Amino acid sequence: MFGMSEAGGAMTEEMDSCRKILSARAYLYLLFHKLYGGEPTEELMEVLGGSDTSEALGIFSQEDETIEKCQGFLERLCRDLADDERRQRFIGLCGDEYVAIFYGFPKALVVPSESFYRSGDHSLLSEVTLAVRDFYRRFNVLPARYPRTPDDHIALEMAFMSCLARDAMEAFDKRDWRELVTLLQAQAKFADDHLLAWIPSFAAEVRKMSDPCLYPQLIKTTEAFVSMDRQCLNNIALWLAEEVALTDRDAPLGGTDGNAAVSSHEDGTGALDRLESLRLPHLEDNELVPTTA
């Protein structure tokens, strides 16, 4: 997947490819956090149909049919919602769908929390919930509104992966390979122990809903992305072990001052910052906040 050229400390094509993947995965985890943590708005629809989202999905779409279909679905949706009346009607339908999935109103059809699928008795608080909380504590974050929102809500788990993914980008830019490996290993373990252990079941239940509008398609894409990202983490870790750690351990990313050789727009940080600024109704109920180390 990656390899080092003889360019040594220079930004090689392989390094650039790795950086784009790290950026795209951080963007998508943040997008899924916003999607499942806050109610839909016109601004969210603009983000879904925008170039930042299309480019992030495009990094992975060539390797996964579900992600490719989602990219096409969102691009068509953007064109279809050019008409203001149609757009407002669609946002209303998405709002109803969001409430049904994430608030369980008027009837709980699915539950967006890990413990429900893994506790054995459909409990919303179990050892699984506590294990997720312990994982958060290791990285000095906790839910902002605990106990109002369970630790293992899908929005919070996406937020956690987004935090670690962005930290991994920063470690890469600093060429702090030891920290990068630690972060990649943590994300791989969280995916194995938690995300991959329940999101497929959640997605399967959501797909049973009649007249899907937006969220069933995106939850299916989340399932596909998490699975693909897990393999991606393996590939990056292997590349680091076999190539970078041996040939480029101490080299700065873009020169002797250690600054990146690309702009924030080109390296994906600009897209992340734009997405980070998106505020949705009730998103504050599904966010992680720093704790005292």
How confident is the model at residue 246, as a pLDDT?
A: 55
Instruction: Give 33-72 pLDDT, tens digit per residue.
Output: 999 999 999 999 999 999 999 999 999 999 999 999 999 9
Segment (H or E) for 136: helix 127-138
Residues 254, 260: contact at Cβ < 8 Å? yes
Average pLDDT, whole number, for the chain? 88
Q: Tell me whether residue 6 is in a domain.
A: no
Q: Tell me whether residue 5 is in a domain.
A: no
Residues 177, 244: contact at Cβ < 8 Å? yes
pTM, to two decimals: 0.90
* Three-class DSSP category at 153: strand
Buried b (16+ CB within 10 A) or exposed e, 159-187: bbbbbbbbbbbebbbebebeebbebbebb
Residue 117's domain comprises 19-290
Q: Which phi and psi angles does 113 have, rounded to 5°? A: -130, 140
Q: Tell me whether residue 8 is in a domain.
A: no
Q: Tell me whether residue 7 is in a domain.
A: no
Q: Tell me whether residue 253 is in a domain.
A: yes
Instruction: Give 182-192 pLDDT, tens digit per residue.
Output: 999 999 999 99
Confidence of residue 3 (pLDDT cuts 50, 70, 90): very low
Q: Tell me whether residue 2 is in a domain.
A: no
d(CA 166, CA 179): 12
d(CA 89, CA 97): 13
How confident is the model at residue 253, as a pLDDT?
A: 42
Q: Tell me whether residue 4 is in a domain.
A: no
Show the CA angle centred on residue 28, arms to residues 27 and 33, nearest 5°. 100
Task: Return the amino acid letter for 79.
Answer: R
Residues 45, 81: contact at Cβ < 8 Å? yes
Above 90 in pLDDT, residue 90?
yes
* Three-class DSSP category at 217: helix
d(CA 199, CA 220): 9
Structure-token pair, residue 47: 């983000």
Instruction: Provide the CATH number for the domain around residue 148.
Output: 1.10.3480.10
**Is pLDDT larger for residue 145 or for residue 124?**
145
Contacts (Cβ under 8 Å, ≥6 apart) of 173: 19, 253, 260, 267
Q: Count the domains in the chain.
A: 1
d(CA 179, CA 171): 6
Task: Return the amino acid letter for 156.
Answer: L
Q: Tell me whether residue 12 is in a domain.
A: no
